[in-house]
Amino acid sequence: FRDDAGGTSVAAPIWAGLVARANQLRRGRGLPRLGQLHPRLYAAVAARPGLVRDIAEGCTDLELPVADPAGGRAWRRLPGFRAIPGFDPATGLGVPCVPLLDDALASPCPA
């Protein structure tokens, strides 16, 4: 079995689930839903070491099969983004530590 899903197709549903989980925790604590997530998320990442694990190596290059002039198949590399320390288009903020993220997003304070 081969599955080539990745990027936003994987990350968006994961983050939707994490935000839904945080909103459930907030509701249980009598707090309103999160609303605009970005300011709170970036403040929490800056204030809480370990909230995300930074991915600083790798890339999003794609290798695709293409028809070769002789009738065979060749591979073509399409350049993507490179991971670097901190935020980057390849890996975003990094991989969240869910218990710390829950605590950060379900608390009444912004960070």
**CB neighbour class for 55 (10 Å; exposed up to 12, middle 13-18, buried from 19):** middle
pLDDT of residue 58: 92
Query: According to the model, what pLDDT value does residue 2 have?
Result: 57
The answer on 38 and 8 residing in a single domain is yes
Closest CA to 81 of 8, 15, 10, 18: 8
Residues of the domain holding 107: 1-51+97-111
What is the tally of structural domains in the chain?
2
37 and 68 together in one domain: no
User: What pTM, to 2 d.p., does this model score?
Assistant: 0.77
pLDDT reading at 7 higher than 60: yes
pLDDT confidence of residue 111 = 53
Same domain, 68 and 87: yes
Q: At a CB cut-off of 8 Å and minimum separation 6, what does 82 contact?
A: 58, 59, 88, 90
Same domain, yes or no: 37 and 76? no
Q: Are residues 47 and 64 in the same domain?
A: no
Shared domain for 30 and 11, answered yes or no, is: yes
44-84 pLDDT per residue, tens: 999 998 999 999 999 988 888 888 888 888 899 999 999 99
**Is the domain of 37 the same as that of 81?**
no
The DSSP code for 34 is -
Q: What is the DSSP letter of 88?
A: B
Count Cβ atoms below 10 Å from residue 45 Cβ, excluding itself.
Answer: 22
